[in-house]
Amino acid sequence: MLPIDDFHADGMDFLSNFHLVHVRGWAIDYPSAEHAYVACKCSHRDDQEFVATLSTPGQAKRFGRGKEVQGRVMRRLRPDFDEKKLGWMRQIIQRKFAHPHLMEKLQATGDRQIIEGNKWCDQFWGDCRCSKHLMIPGENHLGRLLMEIRDQ
């Protein structure tokens, strides 16, 4: 059986963290898993609240990378972020798929391997297919978390 390696094809967009679905995190409602993940990066509560107001996951991602969004830049990255990011992503994905319609879709993927294939050099959360990384397998932590939650 072929793996799922493109979250933007064949109705698999619900696997992406950019899929719009409310995710409750740390007493704040976020419009996507991406928003909630970026909020985990923020040391300041007002930055976490600001992330929830951003209209697109792309804006949230840019803010989380220290770029200016709507005239504002994240004040400080949490110092413990790198050591905690995998656990936080697990919690976010669990909350996302607590929505029954999404869990049904995830379970309908059956035993297929889920790979967050990308071309933006993300070898931690996915498996980049750019010419630089084509022969170097990514860690695919997002795909692994999705399969773990599907199989629970």
Residues 71-88: tens digit of each pLDDT: 999 999 999 999 999 999
pLDDT tens readout for residues 85-133:
999 999 999 999 999 999 999 999 999 999 999 999 999 999 999 999 9
Domains present along the chain, CATH in parentheses = 13-150 (1.10.357.40)
Give the span between the Cα atoms of 142 and 137, in whole angstroms. Answer: 14
Residue 16's pLDDT is 97
Nearest CA to 37 out of 107, 109, 92 is that of 92
What pTM was estimated for this model as a whole?
A: 0.94
Residue 26's pLDDT is 80
Residue 25's pLDDT is 84
Q: How many residues does the chain have?
A: 152
- Amino acid identity, position 20: L
Angle between helix 45-53 and 33-41 (nearest 10): 160
Share of the chain above pLDDT 70, in %: 100
Q: Alpha helix (H) ranges present in 54-131? A: 57-64, 81-96, 100-107
Give the span between the Cα atoms of 101 and 107, in whole angstroms. Answer: 10
Which helix H or strand E contains 36, and what residues bound it? Answer: helix 33-41
**Average pLDDT for residues 140-149, to the nearest whole number?**
98
